[in-house]
Amino acid sequence: MIDWTDRHCRRFHRAITQHTWLYTEMITTGALVFGDRKRFLAFNEEEHPVAFQIGGSDPEHMARCAKWIEEAGYDELNMNVGCPSERVQKGAFGACLMAEPDLVADCVKAMRDACSLDVTVKHRIGLDYDESETMLYDFVGKVSEAGCNTFIVHARNAVLKGLSPKENREIPPLRYEVVKRLKQNFPHIQIILNGGITTLDAIEDHLTWADGCMIGREAYSNPWLLAGFDEIIGKPATVKTRLDVIEELRAYAEQELTNGESIRSITKSWLGLFHGQPGGRLYRQVLSDSTLLKANNWQVVEDALAKMFKHAPVV
């Protein structure tokens, strides 16, 4: 979810679901060690509970970053061992680390020693076209021994050569049964299922055996799906409308504009809010119109809603 689930997106999602966990986009150790650390660590207090997802493979750097992440106030530290992009592979982290469970275990231990946050790991079920489960069990076994008690498992293999990141989300088949067997073999570990989950019914079905579900791009393209999450986990249901969410975020957006942010950056995650609703396409057209966005003010949101209501009134 690099460049997707930034702090503006997470603030938007929190306005829809009050209790489910939010995760940052993956940030590398290099960005924190050598880049604008303050900017990369920034988040809104309303986001809690929120986890910071980190990418890296140097235990020393991972430990340094873990301290900074804890000091910033995050609730969980998640190590990404699932991203299949070649750019990430060149940095020697992401999905290629599944072939190096000892190194991942060293990173987990270093982070746990450096901070008191829960350190979790997100990964795939295997690499390339090997559908045996030997690598998966070896990986989870060794990393759990280092103190990781929660694994977020994308139920596809990662093909490291020949497939783009987008193709890696579509071409390798989903094999939920592999993750289910993993849970059966490691009943003492929390297993969170990820990959291809797009409906509330599917979430409820998976929760009969998994400890949780992680939703990625569906939460971005169809964010109103999140409105049903709180009730599924036994919390009070969301009673807001989509318009309530936009109105709630108006003060936030205007403050961010005052701080120098662009309306495009603030609202890009809002484009799917009226997904499947009458007039939703018109709303998206206005809110993504580069000419209108140049004005860089709240009026473009008002214009998007006005055009939608004019052609297809909704509640």
DSSP per-residue letters across 58-87: -HHHHHHHHHHHHHHT-SEEEEEE----HH
| pLDDT band per the 50, 70, 90 thresholds, residue 236 | confident
**What's the CA gap between 117 and 128, in Å, rounded?**
32
Which residues are 122's β-sheet partners?
A: 80, 152
Report the pLDDT averaged over residues 297-315.
86
Pairwise CA distance, residues 158 & 174, whole Å: 11
Name every residue whose Cβ is closer than 8 Å to that of residue 129 and which is 6 or more positions away in sequence: 157, 159
Q: Where in the chain is the domain with CATH 1.20.120.1460?
A: 242-311
- Residues 43-62, mean pLDDT to the nearest whole number: 96
Distance CA 151, CA 120 (A): 6
Q: What does CATH list as the number for 242-311?
A: 1.20.120.1460
Residue 166 confidence (pLDDT) above 90: no
pLDDT of residue 82: 84
- Compute the distance between CA of residue 114 and CA of residue 226 in angstroms, rounded to an integer: 33
Q: What is the mean pLDDT of residues 302-310?
A: 93
CA 303 to chain centre: 30
| 103-107, 226-230, 307-311: least confidently modelled range | 307-311
Q: Which CATH superfamily is domain 7-232 in?
A: Aldolase class I (3.20.20.70)
Bridge partners of 55? 28
pLDDT (tens digit, 9 = 90+) per residue, 193-205? 999 999 999 999 9
Alpha-carbon torsion 11, 15, 18, 19, what sign? negative
State the pTM of this model: 0.93
Q: How many CB atoms lie within 10 A of CB 210?
A: 21
Contacts of 245 (CB under 8 A, 6+ apart): 12, 15, 16, 273
**DSSP H helical ranges for 91-228:** 101-114, 134-145, 165-168, 176-185, 200-206, 217-221
- Enumerate the active-site residues: 83
Residue 125 and residue 129: Cα distance in Å, rounded?
A: 11
DSSP 203-220: HHHHTTTSSEEE--HHHH
**pLDDT-derived band at 76, boundaries 50, 70, 90:** very high
Strands 118-127 vs 76-81: parallel, antiparallel or unpaired: parallel
* Domain ranges in the chain with CATH number 3.20.20.70: 7-232
> In the predicted model, what is the mean pLDDT of residues 100-127?
97
pLDDT mean across residues, the chain = 93
Cβ neighbourhood burial of 18 (10 Å; 0-12, 13-18, 19+): middle
Is the per-residue pLDDT at 93 higher than 80? no
